[in-house]
Amino acid sequence: MKDKKIYSLLFVLSFMLSCTSSRVPVRTEVTKEALSSRVEATKFEEVNLVTSNGDTHKGKIVSLEGESIELRPFPYWNVELVRLHLDEIRTIKLVKKESRAAKGLASGFGWAFVIVGTIGGLSSTYNEDYEAALLGSAVLGGAGGLLGLLVGAFQDFTTKTKFEFTTMSKEEKERAIRKIMGVPVK
């Protein structure tokens, strides 16, 4: 009976770990605001923005209106918004704080470990069965973690994080800003 309590506790802790490392994507829809001339951001990605003068701004893009953006500079509170014309921007680089590969590893291991451990633990009757269930859940958890690591690394590799505005047309600049802001592209 004591072993079942330990496995139940491990199940709850593994489930909590996998829930904290998973992320539900936000679905954006075309709204009247997105079709107007002023577009408000739905995602507030932190960016490093370099202007044609060589000035560097660290902040979050708040809105796009016509051919200008509004940027809330770091530290984000008690500061005035910076308004920049799209032609003034040389590059925008997204600041990434976390790796999707690490999240994929944790989530893949957690889910596989919890599911296999639960099924194996509930169907076990002897101590040897519990050991086999724990070993099986660890092995399949490792395989799930490896798969999550590969998928996350692929996403990290294919996600564009730097936009060179000097080589873009007006439409490409607007599309890049909308993508950074999490707003659907027209």
Q: Tens of pLDDT along 169-186?
A: 989 999 999 988 888 876
Give the pLDDT confidence score for residue 18 in this predicted structure. 63
Q: What is the pLDDT of residue 125?
A: 80
| Banded pLDDT at 50 (limits 50, 70, 90) | very high
Q: Enumerate the CATH 2.30.30 domain ranges in the chain, comma separated.
A: 32-96+161-181
**Greater model confidence, 8 or 30:** 8
CB 173 within 8 A of CB 165: yes
Q: Which long-range contacts (CB under 8 A, 24 or more apart) does 40-46 make?
A: 40/181, 40/183, 41/181, 41/182, 41/183, 42/181, 42/182, 42/183, 43/180, 43/181, 43/182, 45/94, 45/95, 45/180, 45/181, 45/182, 46/74, 46/94, 46/95, 46/97
Residue 132's pLDDT band, with cuts at 50, 70 and 90, is confident
CATH architecture of 32-96+161-181: Roll (2.30)
Q: What is the mean pLDDT of the chain?
A: 82
Question: pTM to 2 decimals?
Answer: 0.58
What's the pLDDT at 51? Answer: 92
